[in-house]
Structure 1
Amino acid sequence: MADADKNAKQEALIQLIVFRLGEEEYGIRIEQVKEVTITPEIARMPKTPSFVKGIANLRGDIVTIIDLEERFQLRPVGEELPNVTYTLAIEAKDYTIGIMVREVPQPLSIPISIIEKAPEFIQDINIHDKYIEGIAKTNGRIIVVLDMLKLLTPSEIMQLQPKGESSAAAARTKA
């Protein structure tokens, strides 16, 4: 019985939503993704970084849409986004953001044991607080697993929240 328990723990699975940025594959833990949808119409916002595409209405919520390909500088030179993109709504405790990607994200279940810690030199050069959770190698694929909750700095999060969002959130929590 002890061996069966040991094997069950070794085979613990993690579910990822996998998508492409440039030529590489990236994954986000499924519990960090609220929904995946075709990117709605985006309204540009003044004085925001170029990777912030603007805000959009996602099922009644105003959400900031960011382009990770641009954020990570992974877009091939001269290549534009396709006419139809997809947005992953990422829900954190205090905010929801939309991550725009060019292809339909795919679910993938992998053993948690195959996710290796990212090499220290990669983590050290990241400006932000270790948003690479690890690297998964499976069936000849390499997937960079991101921790979306660490991707943006607190000051960026404050910048990206639509005005009135925090008071609306506070009103919801009081209700």
Structure 2
Amino acid sequence: MRQEEERNQTNHVRYVQIVVFRLGDEEYALNIDQIKEVVITPSITRVPQKPSFIKGVANIRGNIIAMLDLEEKFGLRKTIDEHAGNNFTLVIDSAEYKMGVLVKEVPNTLSIAESSIEEITLAGDSGIEQSYIKGIVKLEKRLIIMIDIFKVLSQYEEQQVFKKQTALV
């Protein structure tokens, strides 16, 4: 009876697919549901008077989207060379947001057990809770910071960037 219960518990392991990418020296991940596609970064048109981590806008498949540099937003060591041709963009497309997240290397997809994500709550330098960090994924010798891309921007930044997407154009 005990073995059957253990088998049933093992069969109920929930898996999540994540997209893993590198920012600075660390690995970060987004739930695959938050990403529409991954493309080679097109040319970016700078837009004046936007936060410095908004690199401008780009035309991806006919959609004009804001291009975010999370390394700059998070204050990490810079690894993205804006002038190199092999950077990639994670395209985020939801009812509220249409944006691209710049990454240097081709991201990879992993299927992980939900139980391998350890929830944490961190406060930033200003004491503001960093609710965009959903947890840390523990895989063997790797620690991957799981983020919620929809919580990365503050309300003020959202207003600056996403006023119905027309404010950028």
TM range (shorter): 0.7 to 0.9
Aligned residue runs from structure 1 range 1-175, under 5 A: 3-9=6-12, 11-76=13-78, 81=81, 83=84, 84-118=86-120, 120=121, 123-125=122-124, 127=128, 130-161=131-162, 162-163=165-166
Relative to structure 1, is the Cα distance of residues 75 and 129 closer, same or farther in structure 2, using a 3 angstrom cutoff? closer
The code of the aligned residue for 1:124 comes to: A
- Normalising to structure 2: TM-score of the pair? 0.85
- Work out the CA distance in 2 between the residues paired with 1:153 and 1:12: 31
The code of the aligned residue for 2:119 comes to: K
- 8 Å Cα contact 2:80/2:103 also seen in 1: no
- Work out the CA distance in 1 between the residues paired with 2:91 and 2:158: 15
- 8 Å Cα contact 1:135/1:145 also seen in 2: yes
Q: Using the aligned pairs only, state the percent identity.
A: 41
Residue segments in structure 1 that go unaligned for 5+ positions in a row: 166-175
Q: How many residues align?
A: 159
| Stretch moving more, 33-42 or 155-164 | 155-164
- C-alpha root-mean-square deviation of aligned residues, in Å? 2.0
Alpha-carbon displacement from aligned partner over 1:69-95 (angstroms, at most 9, x marks no partner): 11111125xx66160210001123312
SS in 1 for 2:123: helix
The code of the aligned residue for 2:155 comes to: P
SS in 2 for 1:37: strand
Relative to structure 1, is the Cα distance of residues 155 and 65 closer, same or farther in structure 2, using a 3 angstrom cutoff? same
SS in 1 for 2:11: helix
- 8 Å Cα contact 1:44/1:53 also seen in 2: yes
- Normalising to structure 1: TM-score of the pair? 0.83
- 8 Å Cα contact 1:65/1:98 also seen in 2: yes
